[in-house]
Amino acid sequence: MCCIVCHGVYFIIHRMQKYENLPDYCYLWYMKFQIEHKDKSSAARTGLITTDHGIIHTPIFMPVGTVGAVKGVYHRDLKSDIKAEIILGNTYHLYLRPGLDILKAAGGLHKFESWDRPILTDSGGFQVFSLTSIRKLTEKGCTFQSHIDGSRHEFTPENNVDTQRIIGADIMMALDECCPGDATHEYARKSLDLTKDWLERYSKHFHETQPLYGYDQTFFPIIQGCVYPDLRTEAAEHALQFAQSGIAIGGLAVGEPTEKMYEILELLNPIIPQDKARYLMGVGTPANLLEGISRGVDMFDCVMPTRNGRNGMLFTWNGIMNMRNAKWESDFSELDPCGTSFVDHTYSKAYLRHLFIAGELFAGMIASEHNLAFYLDVVRQARAHIELGDFKEWKDLVMPKITSRL
């Protein structure tokens, strides 16, 4: 492996000849992960991810924009108020609607949704996993029916690469199968074998293709294996052969006990090299974020801040609020005195409760904005305390509060 400096930008060239069915080729990628600080009492660390669309400070939370929008939130507010550094899109949903022809004609998802910061796309594997009754898995790939109109489609590792090239995310996810959290060892074994085979084909095709829009893309392999330590270890060792600057941990928070998730993170932490960014997919609560950070996780995403927000749940440093409760009916104090969003100091608890009871769409918008700003504040505060050297003490202090009910 060697590095070339070109106009101040680092490009890494890597020759890969691990598998006989892979051609002798070189490839370039731009994304770079650099650790800045490490906590002395845990596996927490801060770092920088460099992409062509900007720098991401880790640990980071990534708002979910499944179909090209974070529900109920303006992009202006994502940047200036919530201070999101990267958002997600979903390959399954974007493939079905608006479709690849529209996205390609627009010049990719960045231009289509007017977002000039980094984007990460899931492969759509989790969404296909959730369509159990209308999908079929084979060695070739996954055949599924659209949840929109019932039409039949197929994802293979190769066309999934092509689809994510057209979407144009800075960070792509390899196609995998996400098995249920309560799967038997036998099922998880077969699922992992499929994921490993798909990863080899995905990596091969990724390196045989080029980005379409003049900026670089990278991809993360995904570690599966359900709750079984032997399978998780095997999955990690295999996936790391294809990992460039980062790797994802999938198949958690899908029905298994929370403690099992933490055990898997503790198992994987010493296996994954320090110079790889770790992305815990689909997790979770603010408490999950802090526990994940303490176990070496750098990146998180979850729909919880917006989905729960639309249903009246607010996360705060002082605890969790259900804004439909009658106790807020005549509470005219600020929504959240400790909050960082403008909504926290503009609207009262009584006003937001009124909007929820009245069924106003504006209620969900306010709650989503608050929750996303809070999640970004959680990882921002975590970074600050890792740098100060007191992350573990701070985490232990705030955990009882952020998990309590107000």
Query: What confidence score (pLDDT) does residue 124 get?
Result: 85
Q: Using CA atoms, how far apart are residues 88 and 111, in angstroms rounded to an integer?
A: 14
For residues 34-48, give the mean pLDDT.
98
Query: What confidence score (pLDDT) does residue 131 get?
Result: 66
Dig out the tokens for 90 from the structure: 């979903």
Band of the pLDDT at 20, cuts 50, 70, 90? very low
Query: What confidence score (pLDDT) does residue 383 get?
Result: 98
180 forms bridges with which residues in the sheet?
A: none
Query: What confidence score (pLDDT) does residue 138 get?
Result: 86
Is the pLDDT assigned to residue 52 strictly greater than 90?
yes
Q: CA geometry: angle at 275 spanning 272 and 280, to 5°?
A: 55
Query: What confidence score (pLDDT) does residue 49 get?
Result: 98
Is the pLDDT assigned to residue 265 strictly greater than 60?
yes
Which of 155-164, 175-184, 225-234, 357-366 is the least confident region?
175-184
> Is position 377 annotated as part of the catalytic site?
no
For residues 365-381, give the mean pLDDT.
98
> What pLDDT digit, counting tens, does each position of 143-192 carry?
989 989 999 999 999 999 999 999 999 999 999 998 888 999 999 999 99
Helices 361-388 & 391-402, crossing angle to 10 degrees? 150
Is the pLDDT assigned to residue 23 strictly greater than 60?
no
Band of the pLDDT at 60, cuts 50, 70, 90? very high
For residues 66-80, give the mean pLDDT.
97
Is the pLDDT assigned to residue 15 strictly greater than 80?
no
CB 242 within 8 A of CB 221: yes
> What pLDDT digit, counting tens, does each position of 267-301 carry?
999 999 999 999 999 999 999 999 999 999 999 99
Q: Using CA atoms, how far apart are residues 128 and 138, in angstroms rounded to an integer?
A: 13
Closest CA to 191 of 266, 243, 147, 126: 126
Cα 30 to chain centroid distance, Å, stands at 19
Query: What confidence score (pLDDT) does residue 135 get?
Result: 76
pTM tops 0.85, yes or no: yes
For residues 288-317, give the mean pLDDT.
98
Catalytic residue, chosen from 39, 81, 301, 344, is: 301
Is the pLDDT assigned to residue 334 strictly greater than 50?
yes
> Is position 301 annotated as part of the catalytic site?
yes
Please state the three-class secondary structure of the chain as a single string: CEEEEECCEEEEEEEECCCCCCCCEEEEECCEEEEEEECCCCCCEEEEEEECCEEEEECEEECECCCCCCCCCCHHHHHHCCCCCCEEEEHHHHHHCCCHHHHHHHCCHHHHCCCCCCEEEECCHHHHHCCHHHEEECCCCEEEECCCCCCEEEECHHHHHHHHHHHCCCEEECCCCCCCCCCCHHHHHHHHHHHHHHHHHHHHHHHHCCCCCCCCCEEECEECCCCCHHHHHHHHHHHCCCCCCEEEECCCCCCCCHHHHHHHHHHHCCCCCCCCEEEECCCCCHHHHHHHHHCCCCEEECCHHHHHHHCCEEEECCEEEECCCHHHCCCCCECCCCCCCHHHHHCEHHHHHHHHHHCCHHHHHHHHHHHHHHHHHHHHHHHHHHHHCCHHHHHHHHHHHHCCEC
CB 374 within 8 A of CB 316: yes
Catalytic residue, chosen from 39, 77, 81, 122, is: 122
Name all domains of the chain by residue range, CATH numbers in brackets.
Answer: 2-302 (3.20.20.105), 311-406 (no CATH)
Is the pLDDT assigned to residue 248 strictly greater than 80?
yes
Band of the pLDDT at 309, cuts 50, 70, 90? very high
Query: What confidence score (pLDDT) does residue 61 get?
Result: 98
Band of the pLDDT at 21, cuts 50, 70, 90? very low
